[in-house]
Structure 1
Amino acid sequence: MRTFTRNPMSPLVIILAVIAIAVILAVVLKGADSRQSGSIGYPYQPAKQLFSPAERSFLGVIDQAIGSDFRVFGKVRVADVALVKSGLSKSARQGALNKIAYKHFDYVVCKSSDLSVVCAIELNDKSHGSKRAQTRDEMLSKVCDVIGLPLITFPAKSAYAIAEVKAQLASVLDVAPKAQATHANADAPHTLSA
């Protein structure tokens, strides 16, 4: 009869094999997780506010100037207003989309009844004097020209008269500015808090 002797290494081999499998499994699972969420995870924090104080104040002026027939939306992506034409090659289409994908209008005015876009508004502060901003502004202007969307620009200033803003928007919104204000202070300049 033959006797079997135990190999003293077999428990050690089994333990090492289990550890190796666990390490490989951990690496594979971690790799799958990083591919799903990006290698940097989710490095975000909440924004303090959507508008700068000047943009927020001017939004109030626009709201008063356009009345209830229209609604104003802020920071609307150009790609939500201007669609890339069909019939382009995949690379041409992607190139055209890349030009507008990360750009936005300061404000977009829509009809209240169906939210169709009536015009875009840009509030130009000192930063629009830079070459980069001028290139961006020129691109926005050309896109608006191509899609037939009026682009109205206002220089940033410390106060606005609602009647003046209304007059500048009147031709686009098909509303005539009122000759007389309905409120005593409707034509008074509204000061922007900066």
Structure 2
Amino acid sequence: MEFAIVLVMILIVVAIVAIKFSEDEVSFPFMRKTQLFSPVEHQFLDMIERAVGNEFRVMCRVRLTDVLSLRRNTNKKMAKSALIKATGKQLDYVLVSKTDMTPVLALDLVHNMGPEGHKTKRDFFVTGALDSAGIPHARIKARHGYKIEDIRACIEAKLVPLRRQQGKLPLAPEPTNSSLFTPSKRPTRPVRSSRQVAA
């Protein structure tokens, strides 16, 4: 009889301990962050939004795989390798069309703050993947003193193909009066003639 009571007591203790451990495993040890972006990221986001105005939406922290998809008929081995490399890659900001949410430009913020910095080394896989998909990629170094015009000029320099497609830029330079035209750069070496010299 005493053995049965001791056994029941042990089972109760084991059950209480098991319940306590299971509660710890399913508890949610989280708290709200004080801010979603670092001060540098927030300031840069504000500058981008002011630079692009109402033309584009600015999306933040976008996964590379959200912007790109594999081409049809891609070799399975190559596709798997590319997806493995793309997984975990993230773009700081992506400009998308307001009408259909098409990605237009990827922007990465580069800064040396902190022990390892942020995207200080160019990721050639990201740049190559975006380039193959026809999405321009701009890397802008964080520094004090940027003006909205500086950011706008950098963005517009990357959007030249899109502007030509929209008909907002001429396909070729406008013809100028030949008497007023002076080349800005002279040849640095003589140009060899393609004709053979007579012996």
TM-score tier by shorter-chain length is 0.5 to 0.7
Per-residue CA deviation, residues 84-104 of structure 1 (Å, 9 max, x unaligned), is: 678746xx84x6555444332
Q: What is the distance in 2 between the residues matched to 1:148 and 1:44?
A: 40
Contact 1:108 1:120 in 2 (8 A): yes
**2:43 equivalent in structure 1:** 57
How does 1:78-97 map onto structure 2 within 5 Å?
78-83=64-69, 88=76, 93=80, 96-97=82-83
Q: What is the distance in 2 between the residues matched to 1:32 and 1:121?
A: 44
**2:7 equivalent in structure 1:** 17
Per-residue CA deviation, residues 20-69 of structure 1 (Å, 9 max, x unaligned), is: 333444455556556x64xxx64444333222222222212211221212
SS in 1 for 2:153: helix
Q: Residues 123, 32 of structure 1: CA spacing in aligned structure 2 closer, same or farther, 3 A cutoff?
A: same
Q: What is the distance in 1 between the residues matched to 2:93 and 2:117?
A: 22
Q: What is the distance in 1 between the residues matched to 2:118 and 2:40?
A: 21
**1:161 equivalent in structure 2:** 147
User: Is the counterpart of residue 108 in structure 1 residue 94 in structure 2?
Assistant: yes
Q: What is the distance in 2 between the residues matched to 1:134 and 1:164?
A: 20
**2:111 equivalent in structure 1:** 125
Q: Residues 33, 135 of structure 1: CA spacing in aligned structure 2 closer, same or farther, 3 A cutoff?
A: farther
Q: What is the distance in 2 between the residues matched to 1:42 and 1:143?
A: 38
How does 1:169-188 map onto structure 2 within 5 Å?
169-170=155-156, 171-172=158-159, 174=163
Higher relative contact order, structure no. (Cα contacts within 8 Å, ≥ 6 residues apart): 1
Higher helix share: 1
Q: Residues 28, 20 of structure 1: CA spacing in aligned structure 2 closer, same or farther, 3 A cutoff?
A: same
Q: Residues 44, 142 of structure 1: CA spacing in aligned structure 2 closer, same or farther, 3 A cutoff?
A: farther
Per-residue CA deviation, residues 71-114 of structure 1 (Å, 9 max, x unaligned), is: 1122222232234678746xx84x65554443321111111122
Counterpart of 2:130, as a letter, is C
For this pair of structures, how many residues does the alignment match?
A: 160
User: Is the counterpart of residue 76 in structure 1 residue 62 in structure 2?
Assistant: yes
Instruction: Among all aligned residue pairs of Structure 1 and Structure 2, give the percentage whose two residues are the same amino acid.
Output: 29
SS in 1 for 2:123: helix
Contact 2:109 2:119 in 1 (8 A): no
**1:141 equivalent in structure 2:** 127
What is the TM-score when the length of structure 2 is the normalising length? 0.61
RMSD, aligned α-carbons: 3.6
Which has the higher mean CA deviation after the structures are superposed, 138-147 or 79-88?
79-88
Which has the higher mean CA deviation after the structures are superposed, 42-51 or 102-111?
42-51
Q: Is there any run of 5+ residues in structure 2 with no aligned partner, and where?
A: 170-199
Counterpart of 1:165, as a letter, is I
